[in-house]
């Protein structure tokens, strides 16, 4: 229960940050990717802002034996660069450019523009389900 409340608080902070930073707006995100149009560098400021608490958090994490609310860290340990990582990132970037949306802003927009964002969220979940159906996933 305590874990879920912490996760809810983190989700709230994340969603608030997305909405406040302008990243909930697909046109603004697409404007960042539009180098040959009226380029909007806002996303770079968002990334810069997000890096500061996280860089500090990783420094603190290295000195901690366990997280504050659970018994152990569950962090990705893979270091291998492989084809799925590369192909997945390229496909994700294409979709990001086409719609101006990635998963966080899309889900946050369910509160701001639910009817407008719904087709994207439904398609995104379908894309995730489609990936699961790949033979290599079993």
For residue 135, the minimal CB distance to another protein (Å) is: 13
Closest to 96 measured CA to CA, from 35, 31, 42, 44 = 31
Tokens (6 digits) for 43: 């996303």
Closest to 104 measured CA to CA, from 126, 90, 124 = 124
Closest to 24 measured CA to CA, from 97, 112, 99 = 112
For residue 72, the minimal CB distance to another protein (Å) is: 6
Per DSSP, the residues of 118-133 read HHHHHHHHHHHHHHHT
- CA dist 125 and 138 (Å) reads 19
């Amino acid at each position: 229960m305590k874990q879920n409340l912490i996760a809810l608080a983190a989700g709230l902070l994340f969603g608030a940050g997305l909405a406040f930073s302008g990243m909930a707006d697909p046109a603004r995100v697409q404007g960042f990717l539009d180098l040959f149009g009226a380029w909007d560098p806002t996303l770079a400021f968002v990334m810069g802002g997000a890096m500061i608490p996280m860089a500090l958090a990783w420094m603190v994490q290295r000195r901690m034996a366990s997280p504050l609310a659970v018994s152990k860290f569950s962090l990705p340990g893979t270091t291998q660069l492989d084809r799925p990582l590369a192909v997945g990132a390229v496909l994700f970037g294409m979709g990001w450019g086409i719609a101006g949306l990635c998963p966080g802003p899309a889900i946050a927009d369910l509160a701001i523009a639910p009817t407008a964002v719904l087709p994207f969220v439904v398609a995104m979940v379908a894309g995730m389900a489609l990936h699961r159906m790949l033979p290599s996933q079993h």
